Amino acid sequence: MHASFEPWLTTILFIATYAGLALGKIPKLHMDRASIAFAGAALMLCTGSLSVAQAASPESIDYETLLLLFGMMVVVGFLRLSGFFSRLTQWSLRSIRSPRHMLGLVILLSGLLSAFLVNDVVCLALTPLVLRVARRLRFNPLPHLLGLATAANIGSAATITGNPQNMIIGVKSRIPYVTFAARLMPVALSGLVIDFLAISLLCRRALAGRREDAPEAGMAEPRRWSVQHAALVRLQWKSALVALITVVLFFAGLPMAVVAAGAAAVLLMGRIKPERVYREVDWSLLLMFVGLFVVVHAFEVRVLRPWDSYGWRPLQSHPVGLLSLASAALSSLVSNVPAVLLFEPLLRAMPPAARQSAWLALAMSSTLAGNLTILGSVANLIVVEKARKEGMTISLGEYCRVGIPVTLLTLGLGIAWLALLPY
Query: What is the per-residue pLDDT across 108-157, written as a single tens digit (0 to 9) for each?
Result: 999 999 999 888 888 888 888 888 888 888 889 999 999 999 999 999 99
pLDDT at residue 305, as a whole number = 66
CA 281 – CA 288 distance, rounded (Å):
13
pLDDT for position 313:
60
Of 328, 339, 355, residue with least CA distance to 410: 328
Q: What is the pLDDT of residue 220?
A: 45
**Spacing of C-alpha 146 from chain mean position:** 16
DSSP symbol at 163? S
Q: What is the pTM of this model?
A: 0.83
Helical axes 99-116 vs 84-93, angle rounded to 10° = 150
pLDDT over 70 (residue 212): no
Q: Rounded distance, CA 64 to CA 62, Å?
A: 5
Start-to-end CA distance of the chain, whole Å, equals: 50
Residues 6 or more apart whose CB falls under 8 angstroms from that of 335 comprise: 21, 33, 375, 376, 377, 378
Average per-residue pLDDT for the chain: 84
Percent of the chain with pLDDT over 90: 33
Residues 333-344 pLDDT 10s: 777 888 888 888
Instruction: Please check the confidence at residue 285 and state whether its pLDDT lies above 70.
Output: yes
- The SS3 assignment for 370 reads helix
